[in-house]
Structure 1
Amino acid sequence: MGRGTSGGRTLCRMSEEPRNARRNSSRERHVGTQIRRDVMQLILDRRLPPGAPLPTEAELMESLGVSRNSVREALKALQALDIVEIRHGYGTYVGQASLTPLVDGLTFRTLAQVEDDHAALAEILQVREVLEEGLIRRVAGGLTEDRLARLDAIVGRMEESAEAGEPFPDLDRAFHETLYEALGNALVPQLLAAFWHVFHRVAKVRGWTRDPAPAITARRHRAILTALRERDVEGAQEAMADHFRGIEARSGQETLGVK
């Protein structure tokens, strides 16, 4: 009887251990999340700009009432989000809060869909298409002659490259960035660059390095510019849609056109 009771207690303890471990793990995650939020709130409350020094680990431990290890883990997590920058031997500073974590996440998400990464890439292109079709309506009617001249110079270089049969991804990117600079919205070029980087990273990993139709790409950019010069908002939007339909059509092929 005693042996049976002892064995039962042993089994009970064994079943409780994983449960306790799960509770402790959940509690640690909650604490870590709260510390990260507290550090972010500190940055906001003190209106600290990128590059500004943060309080030392000891100061954060005291103000937040947590251990040194908890502070370090929280700061490492925030560094992965580019919210803080840890400079070993110097301290911790406010980060740039860039979209690098977004780029890394979207790239991984696309490549992780091994069986159909073309479909995952098409989703990213669709988001960018919706974004740009909306943005071009905002700029189409108000571009200055100087900006139109800059866009014309970029398209001209595209056409020269196309005649030589050379792809021109950097010129493509420059065209879109120059087009939306007029908005004066700092987030727009960052978002466009994020999608651009994801596309290129995936293309490089998958070996999609050859653009089969640079002449068509140049012609589609010329069509966008022509509509912009004519202050044709609907025409500019349709020309941009045609451009993206071309990218999407080639993204399903082995020789993916890189944009």
Structure 2
Amino acid sequence: MAPNGRRLQDRIIDLILARGLAPGAPMPAEPRLVDELGASRNSVREALRALHTLGIIEIRHGHGTFVGQAPLTAFTPGLLYSTRQSVRSGASALRDMLEIRRTLEASLIEQVVERADEDFLAELDAAASAIDAGELSAADQHFHEVLYRRVPNRLAVELIELFWTVYHQVESDLEPPGDDPGEIGRAHRVIADAVRAGDAVRAREALVRHFGDIEQRVARLDARA
């Protein structure tokens, strides 16, 4: 977008923040925004559409324009594009994304252990067992969603979910998992058992080992490029 358009987006964001408009609150009507911002109607509409794409503005046709939640999923198209482009010539973006995810998950596991109660542990056990019985990739994702569900850092949890979304889109470019599918189930079971035992160190070590298989698959993709 042109610099003027970018500045107009920033001014709309400043307006939202200055007025303390919470997610879900109605935005000023378009004619009022045109007057207050001193911009043309087309420029304001273009800026609102761009902010809608980012989730900062929610356009409800027939109802008006509202302040959005700005979820991290709004960044999915850009991250997916850069990752898929990387896979064509190697796996640098995918490798970097996995490194960030591994670091993030390992740093949060202590909070998981601290907040574990019997209800949570029962759900985690069920998620670990489902890996052997269900569709591997979906069951693996579900286990990690359950694992971090009670972590209060919502930004970190959204990042983990974002990485999963992108990974599923490029997984077909990787070699299949190792020859022993049961090993993936056992790896998750070790994590669940460590959490149940209240052993954050063992849980972290098991989690890092769990990333070994996929990181090796990414490394082989990189080597073929």
Do 1:180 and 1:188's aligned partners in 2 also have CA atoms closer than 8 Å?
A: no
Q: Which moved more, 1:58-67 or 1:47-56?
A: 47-56
Correspondence 1:226 to 2:196: no
Do 2:72 and 2:159's aligned partners in 1 also have CA atoms closer than 8 Å?
A: yes
Query: Quick one: distance in 1 between partners of 2:92 and 2:5?
Result: 36
Query: Quick one: distance in 2 between partners of 1:209 and 1:86?
Result: 41
1:181 to 128, 149, 152: 149
Query: Quick one: distance in 1 between partners of 2:86 and 2:147?
Result: 33
The higher-RCO structure (CA 8 Å, 6+ apart) is: 2
Do 1:141 and 1:232's aligned partners in 2 also have CA atoms closer than 8 Å?
A: no
Query: Quick one: distance in 2 between partners of 1:235 and 1:192?
Result: 21
Report the TM-score, using the length of structure 2 for normalisation: 0.87
Bigger-Rg structure (1/2): 1
Do 1:111 and 1:117's aligned partners in 2 also have CA atoms closer than 8 Å?
A: no
Query: Gaps (5+ residues) in structure 1?
Result: 1-27, 162-166, 255-259
Shift, 1:238, TM fit: 0.6
Structure 2 counterpart of 1:46: 19
Shift, 1:250, TM fit: 2.4
Tell me how many residue pairs correspond in the alignment: 220
Structure 1 counterpart of 2:127: 154
1:107-126 deviation digits (Å, cap 9, x = unpaired): 11111225434232111111
Shift, 1:235, TM fit: 0.9
Correspondence 1:144 to 2:111: no
Query: Gaps (5+ residues) in structure 2?
Result: none
1:157-192 deviation digits (Å, cap 9, x = unpaired): 22334xxxxx42222222212222222332232111
Structure 2 counterpart of 1:8: none
Query: Quick one: distance in 2 between partners of 1:40 and 1:209?
Result: 44
Query: Quick one: distance in 2 between partners of 1:180 and 1:107?
Result: 23
Query: Quick one: distance in 1 between partners of 2:150 and 2:84?
Result: 34
Report the TM-score, using the length of structure 1 for normalisation: 0.77
Structure 1 counterpart of 2:37: 64
